[in-house]
A and B are shown apart, each in its own frame.
Chain A
């Protein structure tokens, strides 16, 4: 099991933007996602979809990041959507009781 490099792909969508994450989301890679979210919002995007489909691993800092992003979205008046969480990530969300607290959506793509 070799570690795939962490990557963020950013795509504009008709109603906003989509960030597709792949690799391991942990204390080392969280700041990159936050930076990508910030620059997307700066560009005027109001609806942000984060695609978790390619994430091999999410740790507690990744979990915290999603909670903070969700709170920021409410406070700053933009919409966050999370989609396609893989099994390991879903276990982390379920164990934390975060599952029903985060804005998961079925993927429209």
Chain B
């Protein structure tokens, strides 16, 4: 195409047309920061200002004019914003000369040798002759590398923010971060965490091409047990400082390689540049983020290092909070588990089920508790609610539980157990309050004492009724009174003990679930076994509740299956009370 004689004539004509003013025009154009090129109708560049010549790597406009226009793009990998390859025919000036009306083009160019990446915005305008024919196209090329990178990074940081907030599983979070980084930031992205003993754990490695990941997996087999503290990842681990490698020569790969296969794999990656930045928590290096540029051909610079450091800082924070959270959850779980029986026991003549739902975040210890223990062939059950939450409440719960068990050894009467708990709580330096219901289960029925706690309900053929008598809250009051009631039960009758979190559950408009709803639910579900009833209560509460659960919830369901020795609806047989010294 360039051998056609006509274009040469046109160029000369254009140059003549510009003649008088050309000198001035060139001076004006050279003073612009934007690169400006003028393309003749033969697609040759006929002029370029200083900025354009610098970018294209020419010393003079004459040299440029002589060049093959197609060769100008040769040293670059060029693509648009979406990563689609861009050829000369896609340039706005060339389209314009073809008679199209091109949109401005955002062009990404990566130099094949240096890996330098540039983003340019190309806008073309037509120069027409007297007859209105397009004789040339002027392209203004604006270097938008910095703003484009800044925009990409901001967008990336926003995505990272979402990824980091999405999961408390830090390993998954780090995998998501690495996955997000490719291919927009790097061709490869890996995250390693360092172990206390100087080793490392590869948590994530990402590449947009799954075939490449297989190369990574094979490469991992060659990684040494101990990192070399003088180089790469080991250097970052030992110094806590970021490393940037922009020159990776084949000799280095040869040096690193353990055998031929290893070398082949390393060469296959095609390292162009590597950035390794530390993941730091309180100045302690807990891991590293590695970004590798390979087949995309772009290099990394200090700006990329800083950007990687920003990503690493946020990732490190996510790791640390996830670790603290899981530690806290583990402590809370252990503590909570220590406050509840390991399993609901098998008690002859009874079928049992229990429900326990602590309010608030996972990782908080609730103040509700229940316990069962055996004593001389009979069973004692206690359910209660310690005021407060967290470790303080857990301490009190623990005291109550152990006091109850120990007290029952001396005197197994429920009222006496409550009196002992009350005395133990009073000895604490701060006001420690507890509601509790203590029940002694026998093959005939139950003996009940209540200390400031909602009385248990009996569900039987006659409907739902409240059992026991009110007694004093434990831990602080001067005048105390714990009446004890003995209940005879019929086979199939169910006792339901619960904490006030059940009836205080908040629904729409601030309405409480209330004792009436509990009673009617129990009446409707009469005949259900304890496990089914438990499921039904969970469902009812879940459906009613609006917003987060406000209070701990505990329910113990006990169905009496033993032979009833004495028929009748039961009632208070004994009025033995335990009186505190007021």
- A27-B550, A95-B470 known; A2 vs B509 contact (CB < 8 Å): yes
Interface: A12 (CB within 8 A): no
Q: A64, B387: Cβ atoms under 8 Å?
A: yes
Q: A94, B470: Cβ atoms under 8 Å?
A: yes
| A58 vs B549: C-alpha distance when bound (angstroms) | 17
Q: How far is the CB of A104 from chain B (nearest CB, A)?
A: 13
Query: Which B residues are in CB contact (< 8 Å) with A39?
Result: none
Chain B proximity mask over A59-100: 1 for CB below 8 Å, otherwise 0: 111011001100100000000000000000000001111101
| A94 vs B512: C-alpha distance when bound (angstroms) | 20
Interface: B477 (CB within 8 A): yes
Cβ-neighbour of A1 out of B435, B476, B510 (below 8 A): B510
Interface of B is mostly: loop
Chain A proximity mask over B468-490: 1 for CB below 8 Å, otherwise 0: 00111100111111000000000
Known: A59-B551, A60-B387. 19 other contacts (CB 8 A): A1-B509, A1-B510, A3-B511, A26-B550, A27-B550, A59-B500, A60-B385, A60-B435, A60-B500, A61-B387, A64-B387, A67-B473, A67-B476, A95-B453, A96-B435, A96-B452, A97-B471, A101-B472, A101-B478
Query: Which A residues are in CB contact (< 8 Å) with B454?
Result: 95
Cβ-neighbour of A96 out of B472, B504, B510, B511 (below 8 A): B472
| A63 vs B481: C-alpha distance when bound (angstroms) | 18
Cβ-neighbour of A97 out of B387, B431, B452, B510 (below 8 A): B452
| A78 vs B454: C-alpha distance when bound (angstroms) | 32
Q: B479, A100: Cβ atoms under 8 Å?
A: yes
Query: Which A residues are in CB contact (< 8 Å) with B551?
Result: 27, 59
Q: A96, B500: Cβ atoms under 8 Å?
A: no
Interface: B190 (CB within 8 A): no
Sort A-B residue pairs by CB-CB distance and give the 5 closest, nearest first.
A3-B510, A97-B472, A96-B452, A96-B473, A101-B477
Query: Which A residues are in CB contact (< 8 Å) with B510?
Result: 1-3, 24
| A60 vs B479: C-alpha distance when bound (angstroms) | 19
Query: Which B residues are in CB contact (< 8 Å) with A27?
Result: 550-551
| A100 vs B433: C-alpha distance when bound (angstroms) | 17
B residues 491-545 touching A (CB-CB < 8 Å): 500, 504, 509-512
| A96 vs B450: C-alpha distance when bound (angstroms) | 9
Query: Which B residues are in CB contact (< 8 Å) with A1?
Result: 509-511
- Chain A residue with minimal CB distance to B433? A64
| A68 vs B477: C-alpha distance when bound (angstroms) | 10
Q: B472, A98: Cβ atoms under 8 Å?
A: yes
Q: B509, A3: Cβ atoms under 8 Å?
A: yes
Q: How large is the interface on A (under 10, 10 to 19, 20 to 34, 35 or more residues)?
A: 20 to 34
Q: B481, A97: Cβ atoms under 8 Å?
A: yes
| A3 vs B509: C-alpha distance when bound (angstroms) | 6
| A15 vs B373: C-alpha distance when bound (angstroms) | 54
| A22 vs B192: C-alpha distance when bound (angstroms) | 57
* Sample (18) of A-B pairs whose CB atoms are under 8 Å apart: A1-B511, A24-B510, A26-B504, A59-B500, A60-B500, A64-B387, A67-B431, A67-B476, A71-B431, A96-B452, A96-B470, A96-B472, A96-B473, A97-B470, A97-B479, A97-B480, A98-B452, A100-B479
Scoring B387, B471, B509, B511 by chain A CB atoms within 10 A of each residue's CB, the highest score goes to B387
| A61 vs B550: C-alpha distance when bound (angstroms) | 12
Q: How far is the CB of A97 from chain B (nearest CB, A)?
A: 3
Query: Which B residues are in CB contact (< 8 Å) with A3?
Result: 509-511
Q: How far is the CB of B459 from chain A (nearest CB, A)?
A: 20
Query: Which B residues are in CB contact (< 8 Å) with A100?
Result: 479
Query: Which A residues are in CB contact (< 8 Å) with B470?
Result: 94-97
| A21 vs B236: C-alpha distance when bound (angstroms) | 62
Query: Which A residues are in CB contact (< 8 Å) with B471?
Result: 97
- Chain B residue with minimal CB distance to A59? B504
Query: Which B residues are in CB contact (< 8 Å) with A68?
Result: 431
| A34 vs B151: C-alpha distance when bound (angstroms) | 51
Q: A98, B435: Cβ atoms under 8 Å?
A: no
Q: How far is the CB of B192 from chain A (nearest CB, A)?
A: 45
- Chain A residue with minimal CB distance to B507? A1
| A13 vs B113: C-alpha distance when bound (angstroms) | 89
A residues 15-44 touching B (CB-CB < 8 Å): 24, 26-27
Scoring A59, A61, A94, A97 by chain B CB atoms within 10 A of each residue's CB, the highest score goes to A97
Q: How far is the CB of A3 from chain B (nearest CB, A)?
A: 3
- Chain B residue with minimal CB distance to A68? B431
Q: B511, A67: Cβ atoms under 8 Å?
A: no
Q: A101, B479: Cβ atoms under 8 Å?
A: yes
| A107 vs B451: C-alpha distance when bound (angstroms) | 29
| A2 vs B507: C-alpha distance when bound (angstroms) | 10
Query: Which B residues are in CB contact (< 8 Å) with A96?
Result: 435, 452, 470, 472-473
Q: How far is the CB of B450 from chain A (nearest CB, A)?
A: 8
| A59 vs B453: C-alpha distance when bound (angstroms) | 12
Q: How far is the CB of A96 from chain B (nearest CB, A)?
A: 4
Cβ-neighbour of B512 out of A57, A60, A101 (below 8 A): A57
| A1 vs B514: C-alpha distance when bound (angstroms) | 13
| A27 vs B452: C-alpha distance when bound (angstroms) | 18
Query: Which A residues are in CB contact (< 8 Å) with B480?
Result: 97
Query: Which A residues are in CB contact (< 8 Å) with B387?
Result: 60-61, 64
| A61 vs B473: C-alpha distance when bound (angstroms) | 13
